Amino acid sequence: MVGPGTAAAATTACTVDYTTNDWGSGFTANVKINNLGTTAVNGWTLTYAYTGNQTLSGTGWNGTWSQSDKNVTVTNPAWATGIGAGQSVTAGANFSYSGTNAAPTSFALNGVACTGTGPTPSGSASASASASPSASASASASPSPSSSASPSSSSSPTGSTGAPALHVSGTSLVNESGTAVTLHGVNRSGTEFMCVQGYGFFDGPVDAAAIAAIKSWHANAVRVPLNEDCWIGTSNVKPEYAGANYRSAIKGWVDALRNAGLTPIVEMHWSRGQYTGNSSGCADVNATCQKPMPGANAVPFWSSVADTFKDTDQVVFDLFNEPYPDRSESSTTQGWLCWRDGGSACPGIPYQVSGFQTLVDTVRATGAKNVIMLGGLAYSNDLGQWLTYKPTDPTGNLAAAWHVYNFNTCSSTSCFDSALAPVAAKVPLVAGEIGENTCSHGFIDQVMAWLDARKLGYLGWTWNTWDCSSGPSLISNYDGTATNFGAGLRDHFRAIG
């Protein structure tokens, strides 16, 4: 890149939009750098200054943030070094302050201020803009010590190959050119519980190093669990972790994943609805545990989620983590009716149930054509009548989701052959969660072999540093150090490419 300082470089077609979310003692700052010119910016450093005592908190996201006195510097992240012509990137960070929080009034890109008019010279780039103090639906409030700030990312995979745009073709997920894509990845728990428990957004880091660690296992997908109350912003969730703040944190994480080449699978994990019947996880009406089926709020939830991600087919929707209406209803058949139709078909669930036909319709009503995954009964372990009760979808982009652990009913190859193979012969099938509670990998070795033979994808639970002896935890450190269980998944991913 040509260094700054020429008269020609001082007049470029760039702007910077500065927006904040302020909670009195701190705020999130988002800077969106817009390249309005016809030449790409390859490598960037943004600088600006505050007039008060605003102080950087944490590391920020979608860039390397630093501060010297009142001067702030942001440089491009490793996975998105460029800003394409006519495109933009967004970076964010949390700050603390007292007194007045005045917005900065000028910005410079690569050392040169610009007016937002004129051509972008080849081989150089700069940007500045008038700041806007208006609030926006920006990313996280100041995170707790046990959480990490949200990453944000470019609206396009500039500087990265990016995740493939996916759709269904026969029994496969395929990319834009029609080549089959098999998802091999991990679940990243935390975004379903940290917010509603009042701790933040993420359980562990979600920065560039965290993404690089996941990719070092040769994973190509990450499942992102969501909390319905946090996304909608109900009153039981702390405001700094709810509504627009939560949505922006999730979008930043999802964008960072897809721009790094990882397919994000966003799914409703904890939802609203009071249920105290068979296999109840909690008596709370709030989204603080797994419920048997989505409730009434699932409709506005999925309408909003689908609207957020409808412009990128890189994002996959998993409508509900682990349905179990077979536990609440009088028979398996009634459970499947409840699963598809909701409402009066679910007499054993006291809250208003949104069936999966309703939710598929809700997603498609936004114009979203993203691939939709649907788990079956028995916490997504039973797909026995999935084809019989499969919702209709005008786009044809439905896939079956399956979860399997060594303690599930369907956990033998004979069951896989009889219950799963017929489904996989009709639609794409993805094992959204595989795992075992032995802190070893003998069981998932068998599962992966069965799935590999049929070119079916799978994701391990979970990329969190929990005690492997009390549940399936893949790592002991977020640098990618594997547990004994996780080593089986890691080594297998690396062996198959």
pLDDT band at residue 12 using 50, 70 and 90 as cut-offs: low
What lies within 8 Å, CB to CB, of 149 at 6+ separation is 58, 59, 60, 61, 92, 93, 94, 139, 140, 143, 206
Residue 199 pLDDT greater than 60, yes or no: yes
Nearest partner of 195 among 251, 138, 233, 252, judged by Cα: 233
Q: Which residue would you say has higher pLDDT here, 282 or 127? A: 282
- Reduced to 3 states (helix: H, G, I; strand: E, B; else coil), residue 211 is helix
Neighbours of 96 (CB within 10 A): 13
Question: Is 245:138 a contact under the CB 8 Å cutoff?
Answer: yes
CA distance 326 to 295: 16
Q: Which residues of 120-146 are buried (b: 16+ CB within 10 A; e: fewer)?
A: bbeebbbbbbebeeeebebbbbbbeee
The half-sphere exposure of 35 on its side-chain side, counting CA atoms within 13 A, is: 29
**Across residues 380-397, what is the average pLDDT?**
98
Q: Is the dihedral of CA 468, 471, 472, 475 positive or negative?
A: negative
Beta bridge partners of 33: 16, 89
Q: What mean pLDDT comes out for the span 140-165?
A: 46
3-state secondary structure of 34: strand
The whole-angstrom separation of Cα 66 and Cα 69 is: 10
Statement: residue 6 has pLDDT above 70? no
Count of other CB atoms within 10 angstroms of residue 401: 28
- Locate 20 and state its tokens: 């904040």
Q: What is the per-residue pLDDT across 408-429, written as a single tens digit (0 to 9) for each?
A: 999 999 999 999 999 999 999 9
Distance CA 429, CA 452 (A): 12
How far is residue 242's CA from residue 248's CA, in Å, rounded to a whole number? 10
Q: Dump pLDDT digits (tens) for 54-110.
A: 999 866 777 888 999 999 999 987 666 788 888 788 788 888 899 999 999 888 888
Asked if the model's pLDDT at residue 483 lies above 60, the reply is: yes
Which helix or strand (DSSP H or E) is residue 269 part of? strand 263-270
Beta strand pairing call for 88-96 and 26-35: antiparallel
**193 token code pair:** 């519980």
What are φ and ψ of residue 104, in 5° steps? -65, 150
- Residue 233, classified by CB atoms within 10 Å of its CB into exposed (0-12), middle (13-18) or buried (19+), is middle
Q: Is the pLDDT of residue 7 over 60?
A: no
Rounded CA-CA distance 381/119 in Å is: 57
- 332-341 and 356-365 are packed helices; what angle lies between their axes, rounded to 10 degrees? 20
pLDDT at 344 over 90: yes
- The residue assigned the tokens 């992240």 is 77
- Environment class of 305 (CB within 10 Å of its CB; exposed 0-12, middle 13-18, buried 19+): buried
Q: What is the mean pLDDT of residues 402-407?
A: 97
Question: What is 61-106 written as a DSSP string?
Answer: ESSEEEEETTEEEEE--TT--EE-TT-EEEEEEEEE--S--PPP--
pLDDT bracket for residue 278 (50, 70, 90): very high
134 or 16, greater pLDDT: 16
Instruction: Specify the range with the lowest mean pLDDT, choosing from 124-128, 179-183, 283-287.
Output: 124-128
Q: At what angle do helices 208-216 and 244-259 cross, to 10 degrees?
A: 50
Give the residue-averaged pLDDT of 304-320: 97
The per-residue b/e assignment along 437-466, b for 16 or more CB within 10 angstroms, e otherwise, is ebbbbebbebbbebbeeeebbbbbbbbbbb
Q: How far is CA 29 from the centre of its chain?
A: 21
> Residue 12 has what DSSP assignment?
-
Report whether 69 contacts 117 (CB < 8 A).
no
Q: Per the structure block, which two tokens stand in for 316?
A: 């996959």
pLDDT at 312 over 80: yes
Q: Is the peptide bond before 462 cis (omega within 30 degrees of 0)?
A: yes
Task: Tell me the pTM.
Answer: 0.74
Token output for 404: 């399997």
CA 310 – CA 464 distance, rounded (Å):
29
Extended strands (E) in 360-452: 372-375, 398-405, 429-435
